Amino acid sequence: MALRNLSAARLGRLCRPARMATFAAWQPAPAAPPPAQLRPHPAMLRLALAGRQQLCAYGSKRKGGKKGGSQRSDEQEDAGGSAGADPVDMERMEKRMAGRVERLASELQAMRAGRASPGMLDHVRVQLKGGSALLPELALVAVKDAQHLLVVPNNPEEQSAIETSIRNAELGLNPRADKGAVVVPVPKTTKESRDRLVKSLGALAEQTRVHVRKDRQDAMKQLKAADKAGGMATDAVRAWERDIQAATDRHAARIEELVKAKTREIERA
């Protein structure tokens, strides 16, 4: 009843604080101010950049490592010339040496004592009027039976040259012409035939040794030229020489292993 007697203006003044409080409760909280952006001191930036450059330079020196157990130290590499330029291309040298040893292994594999094998004639060089060529390039070589090979020339006019070249190849073979082809009898194993094979494999092995030594000489010439041009430290030169010799010794040892294994195989045939 008391509220009825209140005037509208007075009643509005009494309710205003409640309305304002309700309205304030629904207002969103003010956004937090953005964090202040910290900027490093210029001196700290320069220090961090210098440290990063030192790490990159160290990593570039160590990149690649030392293939094949290299004995060169980082100090010797630093004294050995400009960065990134080795005085000797060791990878190329070892690749050439390995290729020669693999070729020898293939040639020895083709040697068969007392048994017909097309690989026996892979390295026979046929003398022609315009030059020479390997037999597999001029003819098809196949096994006729256990003791005979059949050689079919691509050009019938080269049959005589092929027959002569096989006979003169120091393989102990005596081919004969037969209806446009060449038949090659493979003699059964005798002491004489085994001796001939051992002699042939020895000659092939010596040729490979000569080529490997030539690769070593080429590498030593590169090293000498780099030393003359850039003034390498004595320790660095000696370290490179040791690496070159170590690679040569590894491939020479592999040649000896192949020769010994093939010799035992021939002697047991």
Report pLDDT for 58: 41
Report pLDDT for 10: 57
- For the chain, strand residue ranges (E) read 125-128, 131-134, 139-145, 148-153, 176-178, 181-185
In a domain, residue 106? The reply is no
For residues 134 and 262, membership in a common domain is answered with: no
For residues 125 and 148, membership in a common domain is answered with: yes
Is the full-model pTM beyond 0.85?
no
Q: Which residues form the domain of 205? A: 74-99+191-268
What is the C-alpha separation between 231 and 221, in angstroms, rounded?
A: 15
DSSP 163-187: HHHHHTTSSS---EEETTEEEEE-P
Q: Give the total number of structural domains in the chain.
A: 2
For residues 128 and 250, membership in a common domain is answered with: no
Tens digits of per-residue pLDDT, 127-167? 998 889 999 999 999 998 888 999 999 999 999 999 999 99
For residues 197 and 263, membership in a common domain is answered with: yes
Report pLDDT for 29: 54
Total Cβ atoms within 10 A of residue 27 = 7
* Amino acid identity at 58: Y
In a domain, residue 163? The reply is yes
For residues 164 and 211, membership in a common domain is answered with: no
46 pLDDT more than 90: no
Sign of CA dihedral 200, 203, 207, 208: positive
Q: Residue 151 burial by CB count (10 A; 0-12/13-18/19+): exposed, middle or buried?
A: buried
CATH of the domain at 197: 1.10.132.20
For residues 197 and 176, membership in a common domain is answered with: no
Top-ranked range on mean pLDDT: pick from 22-31, 102-111, 113-122, 249-258? 249-258
In a domain, residue 232? The reply is yes
23 pLDDT more than 50: no
Tens digits of per-residue pLDDT, 180-207? 899 999 888 788 878 888 888 899 999 9
